[in-house]
Amino acid sequence: MSPTNSRVDVRKTYKLYIGGAFPRSESGHSYEVADSLGKFVANAALASRKDARDAVVAARKAQASWAGRTAYNRAQILYRIAEVMEDRRPQFVQATQQSEGLTAAKAEKVVDEAIDRLVWYAGWADKITQVVGNANPVAGPFFNLSTPEPTGVVAVLAPQRSSLLGLVSVVAPVIVTGNTAVVVSSYERPLPAVTFAEVLATSDVPGGVVNLLTGSAATIAPWLAAHMDVNAIDLTGIAGEPALATELEVAAADNLKRVRRAPAVEPDWTLDPGLEPITAFLEIKTVWHPIGI
Amino acid sequence: MTNPFEYAPAPESRSIVDIKPSYGLFVNGEFTEGHGTSFKTISPATEEVLAEIAEADEADVDAAVKAARKAYEKVWGPMSGRERAKYLYRIARIIQERSRELAVLESIDNGKPIKESRDVDVPTVAAHFFYYAGWADKLAYAGRGTDPRPLGVAGQIIPWNFPLLMLAWKIAPALACGNTVVLKPAETTPLTALLFAEICQQADLPPGVVNIVTGAGATGQALVSHPDVDKVAFTGSTDVGKAIARAVAGTEKRVTLELGGKAANVVFDDAPLDQAVEGIVNGIFFNQGHVCCAGSRLLVQESVADELLAKLKRRMSTLRVGDPLDKNTDIGAINSAEQLAKIRELSEIGEAEGAGRWSPACDLPETGFWFPPTLFTGVSQAHRIAREEIFGPVLSVLTFRTPSEAVEKANNTPYGLSAGVWTEKGSRILSMANQLRAGVVWANTFNKFDPTSPFGGFKESGYGREGGRHGLEAYLK
Amino acid sequence: MSGTSTIPDPGLADATRSEAALRRFLHGLPGVDQVGAEARAAGLGTRSIKTSAKEFALDLAIRMVDLTTLEGQDTPGKVRALASKAMRPDPADPTCPAAAAVCVYPDMVATVKETLGSSGVKVAAVATAFPSGRAALDIKLADTRDAVEAGADEIDMVIDRGAFLAGHYQQVFDEIVAVKQACARADGEDAHLKVIFETGELQTYDNVRRASWLAMMAGADFIKTSTGKVQPAATLPVTLIMLEAVRDFREQTGTMVGVKPAGGIRTAKDAIKYLVMVNEVAGPDWLDPDWFRFGASTLLNDLLMQRTKMTTGRYSGPDYFTLD
């Protein structure tokens, strides 16, 4: 916006993304989001525990059919997300610049990396089974095959600093194998996540596969960690908060959630992620059948 | 009519085992006294006291962890995989050579039929060591990077249902990957673990690589919460598993948990019925039903329920309950008075909730802990006997009408360890196998185990896998 | 048991009304999982039969032996010797029971019958163009009638495996019914009919189960695994499937049918495994020579040796038993 323009901005209050829709927080609360220099940018919805609950319901509802799609189809959809992001590249660059205070060149690089990461993960959809599954030569007349399956509904605490690349790096590995996700975005830098939600809504991702909550991980995460219908939780977003991490791990034990622990510091998201972000949310299922006539 | 063909007693001789009056702890390659009190281990079949066992206290656990740490840093960690492999192969061979002794001792201390300890437990133990021995020098090919590293010291806690087999599941992969271990056997079944300690000595395994600390819950807690333990591996109840998950929260300790189950064994109307009956019997009466993956919920298609139940009851009538050392015994003793009380309590609840209770006529010995093979009909998902793990020879029978109802009911449990499917239709098997939320799906078979085949649960049945290539993950970084 | 006194189950009467109905019925029987069936048979094979149980089992097994010779070189002298052996398996021990029957080709029936006299040992004859069964029906029936007229107490017929494998179940069924009629005697003392499947040629356990039901519905008094001329002959799993069939058939119709594994059972140890299986699968009612037989020749001597070991406490040797 040119400062000489006398037009008054239409200020926006961004909403949550739950079950494919964009509701406001049921609590009615929102919070002001500032850019890296402290200047007001927009209002974001402040997700409550009830929003988290609704998001889990949406994620559970979507999970079986998402996992039931062919791996090829999930790959296509993840690739489609990358395509739509590429379309909206300028918007992501702007959002990342605002959020993270990057130069235009650096922001472009981050966005490129985020899109490329999605493309990378998209390709894993129909390969991960071949890499982490195998046939087992049991000592008897049995066919025996171990294959990975999605864990189910995964709560994801997205990184606080890397608002786009970090977000994509924790969401894509969860959903590519058929899990559905309830994601709590960076508290201070939620806008790339909001834009990402808009991309998801327009790129063939079924509603409920990714549910995006803007707000405070410290407030929402305990409800997700204790939720008995959440199968796993990624604590990456609370890097460097050992007390909260411990509290969440304790809560997660109530239904033996798979926990991806919080690192001491937020990782360098430009590094090769390896397979761990995917395999952390897979279950190995082994099927036996006799071989006979 | 009395059967003219009464099988005469065929007891396996127990002279092959030499049970000492008392046992200490196995720390740093030697048996030591321990600082704590002691407890008795008894034969569940006769209630005879077998031996006094040292109860390791915190200081004992600390000494064991220190020994393991030292062995890890000085000997076992730096040793090449090729050399580690040879120690494991040695152990495997000695287990084969002493298999009869191990089987008899296991049956005496645990109460399981000699037929099972001889034909299932001990051979599988040897096979497990052979399998993982071969991995020790091939870890770079396991699909976990070119230079996978051990974790360090593993604290391992095992249950009483398969004392030696669970020991093998824990120790073999840990050692193969270069870790050292402190293992706590269950308090009711310590004897074969202590015999295994002797086998480690016989194999000249370097001191401290394997340490055995006997004791009950407090000993286990001390092990889990010891700050110098890098890895906790537990097999046992879901409640204790949750407590362990809480205890390690906020630490760097890696954890694998193999916990309870309430497996559905789903029989469709086109099943191979006679084999299904065998699978049901094996699924719930194998090892007195003291099996975490036991097929404790029979889900039978309503259209074939009467026929199947008639066959099942007839088959149950041929099960021989009694002396674990008799070679013809099918069902041995319940492992402890405590477990027997729990089985009785849940069975009484089943009756009180209106389910139909049935057991074949069978004479139970006067002393010892015994429970007849039992089934409950008319059970619904709302019954406690359909939801709670009984861990005994008690089968709950439910019916279903359609495949989707079968899947719904099978998955309607917080557990997810195993499941069974019986149908002659191939595509239905694959569809059911996809939909059942369980770590192991046995199709047209049940309760099959193999060192190459990963085992472990979904949901509250725990996390991590034991066995196979996947079992290495728990002990590498 | 001649089968005339039982009331046919209405369901089964339907099943045999037409070729199509028969096929539907047989293909509607529950399948057999090979691995599971073999595991069950092997599991029963681990039973440990000692002391008094072993004594009982050895004597019972002797009483169940159909002492058999089915060779081109069979002569009257050979079959007479065999008949003597069947009556007095262990001449040194009067407490040793007699075998169940002597099993020979039809032309030897009269000779055997004469030797056996009123000993109670039966004469069984293989008929119906044994062992291949490849002959016209009237020849098979004539073969049967000859044996019956010569005094055979039991007829061991072979089914037409070609017809069975081609799915012509009605043809197999009708043939059994016809042979059964040929077993009739004017005095009402009909010869008992054993129906041989030659399970080694049927190959699958599903086929064995279908053949068992087919034969039972057609009126077989016994179902029998093999001729002894085709490998594999009797096996524990095949016998398991047949024992399940007779058990289920009685459950459904009230009619008991006997089972006879034949060929390949050579040791007392093996025979005892079969008896354990009879006991635990079909039930103790079948622990009788009227309901279970072993088709064998060398088995008898091993049973006798083991029996002697039980009574004398020392191991015996083949020189102490007759070679007939």
| pLDDT number for residue B311 | 98
- Whole-angstrom Cα distance, residue C176 to residue C159? 7
Domains and CATH numbers, chain C: 47-313 (3.20.20.70)
| pLDDT number for residue B393 | 98
Kindly determine whether residue A256 and residue B460, on different chains, have CB atoms separated by under 8 Å: yes
Would residue B220 count as lying in a domain?
A: yes
Element (H, E) at C78: helix C76-87
The answer on pLDDT for A3 being more than 80 is no
| Residue numbers of C between 181 and 200 with CB closer than 8 Å to B | none
DSSP string spanning A224-293?
HHH-TT--EEE-GGGTT-HHHHHHHHHHHGGGT-EEEPPPSS---TTS---SHHHHTTEEEEEEEEE---
3-state secondary structure of B155: strand
Do B90 and B28 lie in a common domain? yes
Do B254 and B319 lie in a common domain? no
Kindly determine whether residue A289 and residue B443, on different chains, have CB atoms separated by under 8 Å: yes
Catalytic residue status for C224: yes
In this prediction, the residues of chain B whose per-residue pLDDT falls under 70 are 1
Quote the domain boundaries for residue B124: 22-259+459-475
Domain CATH number, residue B400 = 3.40.309.10
Do B46 and B74 lie in a common domain? yes
Percent of chain C with pLDDT over 90: 90
Do B108 and B250 lie in a common domain? yes
| pLDDT number for residue C1 | 37
Domains and CATH numbers, chain A: 14-28+41-290 (3.40.605.10)
Return the bridge partners of A229, or none: none
Would residue B7 count as lying in a domain?
A: no
Do B274 and B229 lie in a common domain? no
* Mean pLDDT computed over A145-162: 98
Q: Closest residue of A to B461, CA-based?
A: A256
Would residue B120 count as lying in a domain?
A: yes
- The CA-atom distances, in angstroms, between B414 and each of A218, B409, B410, B442 are 27, 12, 11, 19
Would residue B2 count as lying in a domain?
A: no
Kindly determine whether residue B440 and residue A253, on different chains, have CB atoms separated by under 8 Å: no
Query: Tokens at residue C99, please?
Result: 């075998």
Do B172 and B247 lie in a common domain? yes
- Whole-angstrom Cα distance, residue A244 to residue B250? 9
Return the closest-CA partner of residue B156 out of B202, B245, B224, B54. Answer: B224
Domain CATH number, residue B170 = 3.40.605.10
* Mean pLDDT computed over C185-191: 92
Do B255 and B290 lie in a common domain? no
Let me know: does B138 contact B108? Beta carbons within 8 Å.
no
| pLDDT number for residue C323 | 80
Would residue B27 count as lying in a domain?
A: yes
The predicted-structure confidence for C216-238, as pLDDT tens digits, reads as follows 999 999 999 999 999 999 999 99
| pLDDT number for residue A9 | 82
| pLDDT number for residue C321 | 87
Catalytic residue status for C85: no
Candidates C32, C34, C202, C209, partner chain A, best to mutate (most A CBs within 10 A)? C34
Backbone phi, psi, residue C106, to 5°:
-55, -35
Return the bridge partners of B375, or none: B358, B395
Percent of chain A with pLDDT over 70: 98
Do B196 and B106 lie in a common domain? yes
Would residue B3 count as lying in a domain?
A: no
Do B225 and B77 lie in a common domain? yes
Do B177 and B277 lie in a common domain? no
pLDDT band at C3; cut points 50, 70, 90: very low
Q: Closest residue of C to A289, CA-based?
A: C35
Element (H, E) at C189: none
pLDDT band at C5; cut points 50, 70, 90: very low
| Partner residue opposite C244 with nearest CB, options B5, B274, B424 | B274
When divided into structural domains, chain B yields a total of 2
- Whole-angstrom Cα distance, residue C286 to residue C257? 9
Average model confidence (pLDDT) across chain A: 96
Query: Tokens at residue B2, please?
Result: 């009395």
The answer to whether B77 faces chain A, any CB pair under 8 Å, is no
Do B276 and B292 lie in a common domain? yes
| pLDDT number for residue C9 | 57
The answer to whether A1 faces chain B, any CB pair under 8 Å, is no
| pLDDT number for residue B46 | 97
Do B66 and B110 lie in a common domain? yes
The predicted-structure confidence for C133-171, as pLDDT tens digits, reads as follows 999 999 999 999 999 999 999 999 999 999 999 999 999
* Mean pLDDT computed over C112-117: 97
Would residue B339 count as lying in a domain?
A: yes
Q: Which residues of C touch B274 (CB under 8 A)?
A: 30, 32, 36-37, 40, 244
Candidates B470, B473, B476, partner chain A, best to mutate (most A CBs within 10 A)? B470
Would residue B212 count as lying in a domain?
A: yes
* Mean pLDDT computed over C263-289: 97
